[in-house]
Structure 1
Amino acid sequence: MKCLRAHFDNEENPFGSPYDLFTVDGQRPCGELRDLRLRPDGTVVELCILENAPPDIESRLDEHPDIVDFDVGETSDGGVVCHVHLVPNDDVRRLLELVDEHDLLLDTPIRLTHDGVVVNVLGNHTQLTGAVSSLPESFTDAFCVEGLSDYEPVRNGVRAELTHRQREVLETAVESGYYDIPRQISIEELATELECSPSTVSEHLRKVESRVLTQLR
């Protein structure tokens, strides 16, 4: 089985106006789509976990004409969970139809980043190339194939329990030598590399370390 890693650029935003609802100070938050389904009536339901969201997210969802229904709550680590039922634009609907037509699978979670949406699509080479060649023209500028490789699923364990952002912070810390002896990088330098505050980096690493140590008890 092959895994096609694709990126949809935020600057082009082919996903329509509902995608803009989660912007905070002009920037979309990081997070994950844990589930995404196209219903027989052409609407979409999705479960989205965000690191943060605008304080008026409920009123934004309530007032948007393409949102059929929604439920918003908080996660245990201070994030936001959104269950949304919406009417997608024709191109998004077509994109999800291609997944079914070519017998593909979406490897969740789908990553939501400040720069766009990162998705891993599973299938054989013929299925994947057929789907890519059938993409709506409106996706051309936003869509980029980042790689095609053999599928290597993430096994259950501590890593699987971490959020995308926690994994990202941990990987950057390890690769940059934060856990080396002697330490090769400071929290402040890590924060600069990750484009966030030192307190945020420290909080993420504390949560990661807590999960790891809890597993070792």
Structure 2
Amino acid sequence: MMLIEIRGDLDRYREIMTETQSVHEYSISGDNSGYCYCRVEMSPLIELLVERQRTEEFIVEFPIPITDDGGYQITMVGRAEAFANAPSTPPDGIEMELVSMSPYQSHPKHVFSELTERQHEVLKIAIQLGYYQNPRQTSLQQIADDIGITASTVGKHLRSIEKQVFSTYVQ
């Protein structure tokens, strides 16, 4: 069983789930983004990864994105020694390509992760100074003075932030 966050054409996603023989049942909620609960037979690759997680010292980062050519882009996290000891040949029917190795950096997947550094700064100061309290405790000019930009720029940043946040939740 899986719970998957999905974005895009959910009707197309429903078609894919209906047409895929390994999917036993599913339920999709949302309009342009949402969640899919499904019960599926694991593919040989996913079965291999789950089994290896039980016996090796690494974890697989989910969700696993599907590439444009239908492959999987799998991020595995662990110490270099764990990968050095892992079998180097994939099972029959599975092709693997090492794309890169690097120190792991978590990529938060939440509504605020798409904001620019400046937008984060403006939002943080606006919250600290009470801009979103009722009644409002500060003005755009006070936020601007604190950061060193114009009030109109602060307003522009806050509107962009609000659009991003609200469009994620309100469809």
TM-score (norm 2): 0.53
Q: Which of the two has greater helix per residue?
A: 2
Structure 2 equivalent of residue 88 of structure 1? 42
Matches within 5 A, 1:8-157: 45-53=1-9, 55=11, 57-58=13-14, 61-62=17-18, 64-74=20-30, 78-115=32-69, 116-131=71-86, 133-140=88-95, 143-154=96-107
Question: Contact 1:72–1:82 (CA<8 Å) still a contact in 2?
Answer: yes
Structure 2: where are the runs of 5+ without partners?
117-158, 166-171
Matches within 5 A, 1:134-213: 134-140=89-95, 143-154=96-107, 160-162=109-111, 167=114, 209-211=160-162
- Which whole-Å CA distance do the structure 2 matches of 1:111 and 1:71 have between them? 20
Q: Which has the higher contact order (CA 8 A, sep 6+)?
A: 1
Structure with the greater alpha carbon radius of gyration = 2
Aligned length: 123
Question: Contact 1:107–1:119 (CA<8 Å) still a contact in 2?
Answer: yes
Q: Which of the two has greater strand per residue?
A: 1
Q: Name the aligned partner's letter for residue 147 of structure 1.
A: S
Percent identity (aligned): 14
CA apart distance, 1:105 = 1.1
- Which whole-Å CA distance do the structure 2 matches of 1:56 and 1:212 have between them? 26
Question: Contact 2:111–2:164 (CA<8 Å) still a contact in 1?
Answer: no
Structure 1: where are the runs of 5+ without partners?
1-44, 172-207
- Which whole-Å CA distance do the structure 1 matches of 2:73 and 2:106 have between them? 16
Residue by residue over 1:107-140, the C-alpha shift from the partner in whole angstroms, topping out at 9 and shown as x without a partner, is 2343334244322111111212333515213222
- Which whole-Å CA distance do the structure 1 matches of 2:162 and 2:48 have between them? 40
- Which whole-Å CA distance do the structure 2 matches of 1:68 and 1:213 have between them? 35
